[in-house]
Structure 1
Amino acid sequence: MNAKWQLSTAYHPQTNGLTERVNRTICSMLMHYCQEQNQTKWTRILPLINFAYNSSVNRINQVSPFFLLYGREPMLPVDLQTNPDVKKTTLGEYMKFMNHEWKFVKEQAQIHSATSQEKQAEYHDKKNKIRTYEVGQLVLREFNLREGKLGPKYEGPFQIIKKMGNTTYIVKRENSTDEFRVHASQIKLYH
């Protein structure tokens, strides 16, 4: 699967947009089913929501997550009732599909996903200009745990002690040993 370990910045959900999008969709689905009488029963409904999400066709990949994982759509009891003559696939047919056609389906899903990510990145970059900073500069850090709307929005000053990539920095207060990983959008120059 070529999974890679990636660190993300705290209080910056844009770092892991795909996970945030899935969470938002699942929360939305839960809100529809967990109205007044079901609010305390969401843990019982969650596996059903998960199955519904995984068996729904994804707009970007144009196939369901279930299909991408198993190479077939799930067989539901209602499918057997409405169409009792469902053709059962033999192991040989399934293996042939998995070795030839499924690779193509996965490649197409990756292409669709990459195209969508490029479009979203272009849109994001047009909308948001990220400022760059240098090691040694003094900055203010966005205050994540503000007390109400009238509380201070920034705290600091902090000194940039390390640059990690294009948009992530390690900052530290003077006379402190605590270091914080921050995204460029969470800091501004201290004047």
Structure 2
Amino acid sequence: MVTDAHKDWSEYLPLALWAYRTTRHGTTEVTPFSLVYGVEAVLPTEIEVPTTKMLLDEAKDREAELQELEEKREVVGSKMEEYHRRLALAYDKHVQPKVFLEGDLVLKSVDTVMRKMSLPKWAPKWEGPYIVSEVHPNGHCILLDPDHGTTTGPMNFKYVKKYYA
């Protein structure tokens, strides 16, 4: 479809959007087009040669279609909530919260890693050990550098890991 130069992608965008909007989604079990407009999309070929489905749809009362659309949107909303609940449960199964106690030995991430900057290939990504001096319930702790006797600022648990000597 798109050439090697990748400059003609805009020609294919309407086709890709049409395909996306007229395809049933696994979570909602309906097409995005039908959720917005209340009816299924009419293919360009169906305009020239009307199908049985089109003839039956014309006979439907528009008021009933709008009522049906509201019901469909409510059903889709509940399906989306259920989907997100199941997704959260699946994620939570594998997540284990980090627990640190005062006095634990830990390593902290190097500052360049925390700032999402690149490091040389063999540079250490962790420094320490540090001693946990305070633990706060909202997911951060204060560390004490035993060599210099200084404390760090609040460190998010995602930048700290246990040190096993």
What TM-score comes out, normalization by structure 2 length? Answer: 0.59
Matches of 1:42 and 1:152 in 2, distance apart? 43
Paired residue for 1:70?
37
Q: How does 1:4-15 map to 2 (within 5 A)?
A: none
Q: In the superposition, relative to structure 1, how do residues 189 and 108 fare at CA in structure 2: closer, same or farther (>3 Å)?
A: same
Amino acid at match of 2:72: V
Percent identity, aligned pairs only? Answer: 18
Q: How does 1:10-21 map to 2 (within 5 A)?
A: none
Paired residue for 2:91?
124
Q: Larger Cα Rg: Structure 1 or Structure 2?
A: 2
Indicate the RMSD between aligned Cα atoms, in angstroms. 4.1
Q: 2:62 pairs with 94, 103, 108, which one?
A: 94
Shift of 1:96: 2.7
- Listed as ranges, the gaps of 5+ residues in structure 2 are 101-105, 141-151
Check the 8 A contact 1:146/1:152 in 2, yes or no: no
Q: Which has the higher helix share?
A: 1
Deviations 1:74-130 (A, max 9, x none): 22212224535632637x8223311x2112111111121111111111110011223
Q: SS state of the match for residue 39, structure 1?
A: coil
Paired residue for 2:18?
51
Q: In the superposition, relative to structure 1, how do residues 76 and 149 fare at CA in structure 2: closer, same or farther (>3 Å)?
A: farther
Q: SS state of the match for residue 44, structure 1?
A: helix
Matches of 1:63 and 1:153 in 2, distance apart? 47
Paired residues, number = 140
Matches of 2:18 and 2:25 in 1, distance apart? 13
Deviations 1:131-164 (A, max 9, x none): 378xxxx994682332475455469x9xx99x5x
What TM-score comes out, normalization by structure 1 length? Answer: 0.53
